[in-house]
Amino acid sequence: MSSKDSTVSFPELIKLKRDGGQLNRAEISTFVQGVTSGAIQKCQIGAMLMAIWQKGMTNEETLAMTREMMNSGETFQWPKEWLVVDKHSTGGVGDKVSLPLAPALAACGCKIPMISGRGLAHTGGTLDKLESIPGFKVNQSVEQVKQILEDVGCCIVGQTERLVPADRVLYAIRDATSTVDSLPLIISSIISKKGAEGLSALVLDVKFGRAALYKDLNSARRLAQSLVTAGNNLGVKTGAVLSRMDTPIGQSVGNTVEVCEALECLKGRGSDDLKELVTNLGGYLLWMCGHSGTPESGKTKIAVKLENGEALKKFEAMLMAQGVSADVAHSLCLNETDYFEHMKRAAHQTELKVLDDGAVLDIGGLALAEVLHKLGAGRAKSGEEIDHSVGAEILVEMGQQVQKGQSWIRIHHNCPNLNPHYSDLQKALVIGSHDKYETVSRMAEFIYPDNPNMS
């Protein structure tokens, strides 16, 4: 089958890439248009994706692919005076950063059209967390998103039908053809969606470690540098933070329990660990979009909004704008409240005990997430239902001196007992001599070009 815009057939394009050739922009456009329109068969799409996975793409090809995917559907257009920013995370355990970050940025005067995803495998999804709140609607039209940004300043929504339709097709086939980990396909998927949001600035939280997609710093750095280059070449000021993902972020893992912890952060409380990520990512964004003179001053502005209640007010307004009743939104945002009065509590809460005296040297995020996944907190494939009430509250902190018999974790579960999972849960906690404990910041590096290309 031939495209009307090119004399090159789809099989010829596949053969060209399979044999290590470089696709020009017109050929990439032909492929993406064929994907979007349905003119190219799924088996041909799979063949092209495998050819890209095997042979890779040059920077020029990756940029062309990203640009064509971005333009495959509708793109957001905003008033010129708006500072529109967003954050993207490569996924982790206990990553509820978006929930306090979006309203904190809105309280600073930015607009945040945060298009988020659902959890898959051991990583949690922002949309799943927010759906723990009764009435919260993640599906909003383009017109509704614009109105919420006008009225509130931030929203957290799912991908709209008209935004980057090519990515929706390609992502499903990447999953089915084991080509998810192709660097050019990762870059074009992430950056095309963010480019379509019409952003002034984008910060990427690229995670590395035992509970991350990339286990070591060097491989995460390569991804971060490629994403930053693609974003800036597309006209979006893009920077990336490299952050460690070994232990869970904050003190909770799950859906409902993470919403509770995010609300605590918005009330100026909660773990320093979560606050560190929120203020750093927000600070970099405020600096990148020109809203603060330095990253440090931007970080201070975010911290102030968390402390003085302004970010909390934005979150309450966002909840109501996205379908939560005024009574529920107000009650959740009260300084002292019972979160489980409105969000579902699991049938059982079981506390596990420390087995030896010593210091907390490690809390294995991956091991913990995998058990919670088996208990119903996650999904094995897209579209599966999850149990929002399943989760864990971590009752100790890294480096803390603990005693045998002390409770270290509270598991929220709906199964009769935890016996089949007891051993795996206890292995997640490592106790040892305090002199072996080393304090390490989650923030490893920040990558940003000296002169971002805004062409």
Q: What is the pLDDT of residue 452?
A: 61
Residue 211 has pLDDT above 60, yes or no: yes
Task: Please name which of 233, 157, 228 lies closest in space to residue 197, comparing C-alpha atoms.
Answer: 157
Question: Residues 67-89: what's their mean pLDDT?
Answer: 94
Output 399-403 pairs: Cβ under 8 A, ≥24 positions apart.
399/359, 399/360, 399/434, 399/437, 399/439, 400/359, 400/360, 401/358, 401/359, 401/434, 402/354, 402/357, 402/358, 402/359, 402/360, 402/431, 403/354, 403/357
Residue 7 has pLDDT above 70, yes or no: no
- Greatest mean pLDDT among 166-175, 188-197, 324-333 lies in 324-333
Do strands 429-432 and 401-402 pair parallel, antiparallel, or not at all (unpaired)?
unpaired
What confidence tens digit (pLDDT) does each residue in 245-256 have?
999 999 999 999
Task: Please name which of 114, 81, 79, 97 lies closest in space to residue 322, comparing C-alpha atoms.
Answer: 114
Q: How far is CA 296 from CA 4, 272, 283, 285, 427, in A?
A: 53, 17, 6, 11, 38
Give the pLDDT band (50/70/90) at residue 386.
confident
Q: CA-to-CA distance for 288 and 298, rounded, in angstroms?
A: 9
What confidence tens digit (pLDDT) does each residue in 110-159 have?
999 998 877 655 566 889 999 999 999 999 988 999 999 999 999 999 88
Q: CA-to-CA distance for 412 and 113, rounded, in angstroms?
A: 32
Q: Which of 86, 128, 167, 387 is catalytic?
A: 167
Report the share of the chain in percent with pLDDT over 70.
95
List the structure tokens of 192: 């095309």
Q: Which of 87, 96, 174, 421 is catalytic?
A: 174
Q: What is the pLDDT of residue 322?
A: 98
Q: What is the pLDDT of residue 381?
A: 66
Question: Residues 308-334: what's their mean pLDDT?
Answer: 98
Domains of the chain listed by start with CATH number: 10-56 (no CATH), 85-336+442-447 (3.40.1030.10), 347-436 (3.90.1170.30)
Q: Across all residues in the chain, what is the average pLDDT?
A: 92
Q: What is the pLDDT of residue 438?
A: 87
Written as one string, the DSSP assignment of 23-56 is: --HHHHHHHHHHHHHT-S-HHHHHHHHHHHHHH-
Tokens 């990253």 belong to which residue? 295
Written as one string, the DSSP assignment of 165-226 is: HHHHHHHHHHHHTT-TT-HHHHHHHHHHHHHHTT-SEEEEEEEESTTSSB-SHHHHHHHHHH
Q: What is the pLDDT of residue 216?
A: 93
**193 counts as catalytic:** yes
Give the pLDDT band (50/70/90) at residue 451.
low
Give the pLDDT band (50/70/90) at residue 79.
very high
| Alpha-carbon radius of gyration of the chain | 22
Q: What is the pLDDT of residue 384?
A: 74
**189 counts as catalytic:** yes
Q: What is the pLDDT of residue 380?
A: 67
Q: What is the pLDDT of residue 2?
A: 39
**291 counts as catalytic:** no
Q: CA-to-CA distance for 115 and 312, rounded, in angstroms?
A: 20
Do strands 391-394 and 407-413 pair parallel, antiparallel, or not at all (unpaired)?
antiparallel
Q: Which of 189, 252, 271, 292 is catalytic?
A: 189
**342 counts as catalytic:** no
Q: Which of 17, 67, 193, 388 is catalytic?
A: 193
| pLDDT greater at residue 378 or residue 408 | 408
Question: Residues 44-73: what's their mean pLDDT?
Answer: 96
What confidence tens digit (pLDDT) does each residue in 251-284 have?
999 999 999 999 999 999 999 999 999 999 999 9
What confidence tens digit (pLDDT) does each residue in 342-383 have?
999 999 999 999 999 999 999 999 999 999 999 988 776 666
Residue 440 has pLDDT above 70, yes or no: yes
Q: What is the pLDDT of residue 159?
A: 80
Do strands 154-157 and 112-115 pair parallel, antiparallel, or not at all (unpaired)?
parallel
